[in-house]
Chain A
């Protein structure tokens, strides 16, 4: 299998040295954050999202992923449950044109990555062993808030980690995902700073290995009693990183009082394609409307339009910060009207990843998919404005 490109995403919020998700992020938005840069650059025929920590199982927004990535109508999006080994399995079994996305999302670490599989140039990944065992050191039942951990780390080390690494490694020091850097050293493994131990961690490890001098690297992915190994032969892999300077989680907007926000499924459905795909309507006279409208305000024609994809970059026309606590909305939050590039269209969006800093008129940035609200239990996705300035007011790539 050939990996042509890798994309890595970490949320901006930092807590105890780790990055954690924003209040407007979930497995789906983390997946899109990593996948979108590759979908913009390459033809994607199918998407597999691998996560060991699904937050939505029934009603997962595969359609949201498809529209947010501008996939073809018939492109399948699959949600697969599993840890680091499952990510290696997914890449090894993927055909050219596949995008394999890994998401780690827990209360203390969040990251995502994506790999684009190609039949063109890239880095080769070859299967090198698989072990499936049972040592349920950590268990989280569906609906449970916390994970139950068997309280003896040496049991995992002696019964799982040591024998698994022994069986899956090659003669050279392997790169192991799913164990701490200290454990890796003790086992004579190569060390890499990985933001998360699961599926996303594997993709960060591959990106790390792609820059190492020398030949093939054995990658071993562990998940308690299971493990998978693959040989990664570095090649021309494009690596895209979206890792902004950290912002303390103390500045992360938070929901104060909670409330059930009314939701209309028909209104959601009517808005969906244009909203999540960011597709405007252009009348035969040239007038562009977003959201698409039936009657052209320029020439009066009725429903004579073609869909027009919008750019996701633009400039703030006006913006405000909402300081007053609004029940059910994480705050303080910013609202901005953003004039999109190369288009007469402006969009209203919440401001993402900004902390205490106030966004200013004229700031440039990008619209990114976020979970804008949860209404009557239904996650509602849309676009938020992410400035090209970080929290300190310094420029970062949009």
Chain B
């Protein structure tokens, strides 16, 4: 009897190479068009400022306030207390884990030991600082877990100070 030879012995394999090619092409496409790293949001609260009668004469104890001036070239100048008779500083430091961070941590401990209350950090960006500096210092506040900090406007004598130290 004549048998039909319809290739029953042929292997059922399919060549998958074009399929893999296509899959990798699509993967590449999706990888390039996806923005996997979604941006993060840092919340900032500014002091209320529409009170016309009082400017910013918030009375705070000198021994609890650390004023941080953001200068040019990624430099910070800090002092403790009032500018006329600072309790410490003014000193120029950089950003990051070897710059301002140990200073704030040390001050936080000292203030806590001396007064039993937390440190107040006042951030004053100068006109020559950039946006990254502002984010860096705010991030630093989050890292050291500082409870009280605010962003204020820089004053003329402070700009003079920055100029004298060559960071304006």
Say if A and B assemble together: no
